[in-house]
Homo-oligomer: A and B are copies of this chain.
Amino acid sequence: MKTDIEIAQQATLKPIEQIAEQLELAEEDWEPFGRTKAKISDRLLQKLEDKPDGKVILVTSINPTPAGEGKSTVAVGLGQALNKIGKKAIIALREPSLGPVMGIKGGAAGGGYSQVLPMEEINLHFTGDLHAITAANNLLAAIIDNHIHQGNALNIDPRRIEWKRVMDMNDRSLRNIIVGLGGPKQGSPREDHFQITVASEIMAILCLAKDLEDLKERLSNIVIGYTYDEQPVQVRDLEVEGALTLLLKDAIKPNLVQTTENTPAIIHGGPFANIAHGCNSIMATKTAQKLADYVVTEAGFGADLGAEKFLDIKSRIGKIRTDAVVIVATIRALKMHGGVPKDALKEENLEALKEGVKNLQKHIETIKHFGLPFVVAINKFPTDTEQELEWVERWCLEQDIDVALTDVWGKGGEGGILLAKKVVEKAASPQTFQPIYELEDSLEAKIRKIAQIVYGAKDIELSPKAQQQIAYYEKQGWGNLPVCMAKTQYSLSDDPKKIGRPENFMIHIRELKPSVGAGFIVVLTGDVMTMPGLPKKPAALNMNVENSGKITGLF
């Protein structure tokens, strides 16, 4: 059996101009970045305004486990399968961050015969979007500290600066720092923190902006901190929104690549799925809708986080209609939700499956609540037994749930044809979409609805700090923004140890953060890590590029 990297390095990529031609792009609509990557013009969307939109298929999953669900692999495989059954499809995914690539996970975008290529490029600097976001984020930080240093005309309280510096790196030593030491010529000392670039509000903004104008408007709205009188200070007060937009003028353009089977893929934007909304960009999804009949996309973590935010935040802001949802599960992951430890996953265990499938059940209920047609995709692993696969299929059929076994890792698009056919059927069926909450609901009501309807919680518990913040935010006129929940991805509850389908639990709201530029209020349950650390043996130590140019150790 070939490894991911062998499959990737043996794949024959088409020159990117062929992919662009296939999508009927004119020369003015795209720019090459190397021979196999391109950027699509941010003006194409406007140019094709009158063209009908392709259908959107959202791929989501059960709560992630260390066993792996293969959501990206299924998304890529489904796109390829749609092409195979004669549909014009594009895959629209998030772009990876360098930090985790160098840390634990190495590179990845799909797997096996369902990968997005060129892997080496996508997982390293790609077309520079994340570097542009880093630069814009840190220009803003430098402007803030310089403003204070040069007299602080805006009366910014250095103890209440919310804006943090970022780096696209896993670097725990930068989590808590003191800057501005060394005397009056070196700035004002204050406590500061670095986040990883994907946690920057600018990443969320880039992904929610409709065009360059909207990008600038959202950047202007960023609240960077507060004055000594506790009034919010925004980017527009610092007059730096023009320079920030300038730094992002190329990053806003969606990136075009292809899969192992030469299906077009747009890889653009990758905000954190906890303190941000975890979806690829609105520009990418909408551009893809103009260029294909089916757009397969995904959202971070399980349906409780990714799909909820896709449907309540991204789709609402972008006015995107979702035509069908795919809920991915694996036998292995369901068994883990049933209590099986990782080293016993190879053994057949129908009892554990029976318990673990309750996690899937909850996510199915959530998608039903949204009123969207869906298919369950069981992503096959070589260790799955016939009995286990049959049991899950039967479980679905008994409840009248459409299910498809897929083997897109091993067979590429061919392994997802059944899923593709079911998805096409579902996407043509009627739907009565409703969001979980209305924007007019109070912040507290929004949080409660998500906790109860999506997580299955008994209720929410607000800390005194959270209560105070809600009152302040509503006074500032931010009460009508959607809420972006930051919760552990491993459980439906806020306790990562509660796997399967926990019941009778409370969701504890610790703190809120205003991402007024992005256009949502972040709601933090428990601690959220926004700057990962490196493990004892970082993945970077295995990486190499040989003198021949051959890359090793990246996957």
Q: Please pick, from B170, B178, B249, the residue contacting A549 in the complex, using a CB distance under 8 A.
A: B249
Let me know if B240 and A541 touch, CB within 8 A.
yes
Let me know if B142 and A545 touch, CB within 8 A.
no
CB-CB contacts below 8 Å: A181-238 with B: 181-182, 185-188, 192, 211-213, 216
Bound together, the chains give a CA A182 to CA B175 distance in angstroms of 8
Which chain B residues border A192 with CB–CB below 8 Å? 173
Q: Please pick, from B43, B211, B242, B541, the residue contacting A553 in the complex, using a CB distance under 8 A.
A: B242
Among A34, A125, A167, A175, find the residue whose CB has the most chain B CB atoms closer than 10 A: A125
Which chain B residues border A39 with CB–CB below 8 Å? 34
Let me know if B179 and A186 touch, CB within 8 A.
no
Let me know if B178 and A181 touch, CB within 8 A.
yes
Let me know if B175 and A538 touch, CB within 8 A.
no
Let me know if B246 and A534 touch, CB within 8 A.
no
Q: Which of A133-141, A261-269, A398-406, A423-431 touches B?
A: A133-141
Determine the residue in chain B with the shortest Cβ distance to A138: B169
Bound together, the chains give a CA A239 to CA B102 distance in angstroms of 13
Let me know if A175 and B187 touch, CB within 8 A.
yes
A85: Cβ under 8 A from any B Cβ = no
A554: Cβ under 8 A from any B Cβ = yes
Given contacts A32-B32, A249-B549, A540-B143, contact A173 B186 (CB under 8 A): yes
Bound together, the chains give a CA A35 to CA B30 distance in angstroms of 9
Let me know if B150 and A246 touch, CB within 8 A.
no
Bound together, the chains give a CA A179 to CA B98 distance in angstroms of 21
A128: Cβ under 8 A from any B Cβ = yes
Bound together, the chains give a CA A533 to CA B239 distance in angstroms of 18
Q: What is the count of identical protomers in the complex?
A: 2
Q: Please pick, from B134, B141, B177, the residue contacting A178 in the complex, using a CB distance under 8 A.
A: B177
Determine the residue in chain B with the shortest Cβ distance to A32: B32
A307: Cβ under 8 A from any B Cβ = no
Let me know if A541 and B145 touch, CB within 8 A.
no
Let me know if B545 and A146 touch, CB within 8 A.
no
Let me know if A31 and B34 touch, CB within 8 A.
yes
Let me know if B187 and A181 touch, CB within 8 A.
no
A176: Cβ under 8 A from any B Cβ = yes
Let me know if A246 and B541 touch, CB within 8 A.
no
A387: Cβ under 8 A from any B Cβ = no
CB-CB contacts below 8 Å: A261-314 with B: none
Let me know if B125 and A543 touch, CB within 8 A.
no
Determine the residue in chain B with the shortest Cβ distance to A194: B179
A132: Cβ under 8 A from any B Cβ = yes
A432: Cβ under 8 A from any B Cβ = no
Instruction: Flag A360-400 by CB within 8 Å of B: 1 or 0 each.
Output: 00000000000000000000000000000000000000000
Q: Please pick, from B135, B177, B547, the residue contacting A131 in the complex, using a CB distance under 8 A.
A: B135
A485: Cβ under 8 A from any B Cβ = no
Give the shortest distance, in Å, between A509 (CB) and chain B (any CB). Answer: 23
Let me know if B538 and A146 touch, CB within 8 A.
yes
Let me know if A246 and B178 touch, CB within 8 A.
no
Let me know if B168 and A173 touch, CB within 8 A.
no
Q: Which residues of A contact B (CB under 8 A)?
A: 31-35, 39, 43, 98, 102, 124-125, 128, 131-132, 134-135, 138-139, 141-143, 145-146, 149-151, 165, 167-182, 185-188, 192, 211-213, 216, 239-240, 242-243, 245-247, 249-250, 533-534, 536, 538, 540-545, 547, 549, 551, 553-554
18 contacts between A and B (CB under 8 A): A32-B33, A33-B33, A34-B39, A102-B142, A125-B135, A135-B168, A138-B169, A142-B171, A143-B538, A143-B540, A173-B187, A173-B192, A174-B179, A176-B180, A187-B533, A242-B542, A243-B543, A249-B549
Given contacts A149-B533, A212-B549, 10 further A-B contacts (CB under 8 A): A31-B35, A43-B549, A125-B247, A142-B173, A176-B181, A176-B182, A177-B181, A243-B540, A246-B543, A249-B545
